[in-house]
Amino acid sequence: MQPNASERDPYNGLTSLHPTLPPAAYWDAEAYRRDLDAIWYRSWLMVCRESDIAEPLAFRTVRIASQEIVVLRDETGALRAFHNTCRHRGSQLFQESAGRLKARLLTCPYHAWSYSLRGDLVRVPSKSLPEGFDKADYPLYRVALSLWRGFVFINLAEEPEDSAESSFDRGSGDLSNWPLETLVTGHRLTKVMNCNWKIFWENFNECLHCPGVHKDLSRLVPIYGRGLMARHDDPEWARHADNDAPEFSGRLRVGAETWSKDGHVHGPVFPGLTPAERAAGQTYATSLPSMFIVGHVDYMRTVRLAPLGPEQTELTAEWLFAPDALGKTDIDNIVAFGTQVLEEDAAICEVNQKGLRSMRHEAGVLMPEEYDLRRFHDWVRERHAALKTPSADSAR
Ligand code: FES
Ligand SMILES: [Fe+2]
């Protein structure tokens, strides 16, 4: 997704025939449940920024398909995550989507069982307790939490592997020169897309649609206007190997500096970027299945996904700025451009979804430019296969 491959890299495109996933993978209830079990309920998922829960006793609730999770900052400043479910008879604990606790206890609204902010059951108001009942046996259902550069990730697996950092795609760009930890949210957009979550990622993974769907973006990033994402997507790339014109290099059009309506920056730029990072125009990092982040010279943008159903996905985009830049930047010019691109993508994803119900459509076929869809499909297939054979690793 980023044009930073070395000149020696071979052609990126697919040269053999690959079918897509079967269409039922995008609308069937059972296929959706398998996606949840194999992927969403055992991956590191970005849920918010650390700064969204900045103060002790602040909390947020987040929904991942049918699962509701509360993320809070305890009195010591540590972040914790729990299922939003009481251990007594399963009542929901928090009804609000965000707020601040009034006490250092979580008290269930139903029969007032109370839990410490570490999740331990500390108070049961019954007059007497049944024989054998031990409060230590009924802590809140704890959820694994991992921090990555100012972002909070959770994992619904009881014993997840690795950490949020390990969830980033190995092809991700290096964002270490962007001061991600300190950035603040300048604008947030939340949208429900009527498509399966995989449709969004497929669309993200190719630019074959760019000339038709993103006219303005294709003018800003001329290689996109050729239906390509990077120099090595062109079978003829070697003929243009030394040509640094934007339509070959993947840089922004001549004179443009960032992704905004007019292509210009409207406030301070990040001081720590290298000349190559400033010239690149956009640097992407992806953590499947929940988010991608893109760095520009003056701001960063994240897109977070959460499945709502087989054919419904919630998208939350945030535009992140340096705190001192926010007051000095005309963010409208920036937000308008990114919103347009996202709306164009969401609309075409919904169109894709609608066509997948044909009884005659057994599978689609990938074109060479869709090499990253093949990687994505392989990743989905591997995750499903791993769920079917949980002991495969230990048996080896
Ligand atoms: S369900 Fe929570 S105290 Fe009864
Ligand atoms: Fe797009």
Distance 203 CA to ligand 2 centre (A): 6
Q: Using CA atoms, how far apart are residues 326 and 294, in angstroms rounded to an integer?
A: 18
Residue 114, in any domain of the structure: yes
Look up residue 8 and give its DSSP letter: T
Cβ-based burial of 109 (10 A; exposed 0-12, middle 13-18, buried ≥19)? exposed
Give yes or no: residues 115 and 233 share one domain: no
257 occurs within a structural domain: yes
Task: Please compute the mean of the pLDDT values over residues 175-196 and round it to a whole number.
Answer: 97
Last residue of a domain, one of 87, 115, 149: 149
Q: Are residues 173 and 139 in the same domain?
A: no
Q: Is 393 domain-assigned?
A: no
Whether the per-residue pLDDT at 345 is higher than 70: the answer is yes
Q: Each residue of 206-246: pLDDT tens digit?
A: 999 999 999 999 999 999 999 999 999 999 999 999 999 99
Note whether residue 126 is domain-resident: yes
For residue 127, the domain's CATH number is: 2.102.10.10
Sign of CA dihedral 236, 368, 2, 265: positive
Please list all protein residues whose beta carbon sits less than 5 angstroms from ligand 2, which is an ion: 345
CATH number at residue 247: 3.90.380.10
Among 20, 77, 4, 12, which Cα is nearest to 376's?
A: 20
Whether residue 214 sits in one domain with residue 315: yes
pLDDT tens, position by position, 285-304: 999 999 999 999 999 999 99
The Cα 183–Cα 320 span in angstroms is 6
345 and 205 within one domain: yes
Q: Are residues 345 and 369 in the same domain?
A: yes
Whether residues 36 and 55 fall in one domain: no
First to last CA, the chain: 34
What residues are in contact with ligand 1 under a 6 Å CB criterion?
86, 88-89, 91, 108, 110-113
Residues 202, 340: one domain?
Answer: yes
Residue located nearest, by CA, to atom 4 of ligand 1:
111
16 domain-assigned: no
Domain membership flag for residue 8: no
- Residue recorded with tokens 């002790």: 56
Domain end call among 91, 116, 149:
149
Q: Is residue 375 part of a domain?
A: yes
* Same-domain check for residues 291 and 243: yes
Residues 6+ apart with CB under 8 A from 339: 189, 317
Confidence class for position 5, pLDDT limits 50, 70, 90: very low
Tell me which of 84, 85, 89 to substitute to probe ligand 1's pocket, judged by most ligand atoms within 8 Å of the beta carbon.
89
For residues 79 and 190, membership in a common domain is answered with: no
Domain's final residue, options 149, 181, 204: 149
Do 246 and 183 belong to one domain? yes
Domain of 66, in residue numbers:
50-149
Contact 349, 200 (CB under 8 A): yes
Total number of domains in the chain: 2
What is the four-CA torsion angle of 370, 374, 376, 377, rounded to 10 degrees? 130
The residue whose CA is least distant from atom 3 of ligand 1 is 111
Q: Are residues 74 and 221 in the same domain?
A: no
Q: What is the pLDDT of residue 329?
A: 87
* 292, 286 Cβ separation under 8 angstroms: yes
Q: State how beta strands 184-193 and 283-287 pair.
A: unpaired
Residue 197 has which token pair?
Answer: 């979550």
Asked if residue 234 and residue 144 are part of one domain, the reply reads: no
Whether 6 is covered by a domain: the verdict is no
Cα–Cα distance measured from residue 91 to residue 103, given in angstroms and rounded to the nearest whole number:
19
Residue-wise pLDDT for 348-372, tens only, equals: 999 999 999 999 999 999 999 999 9
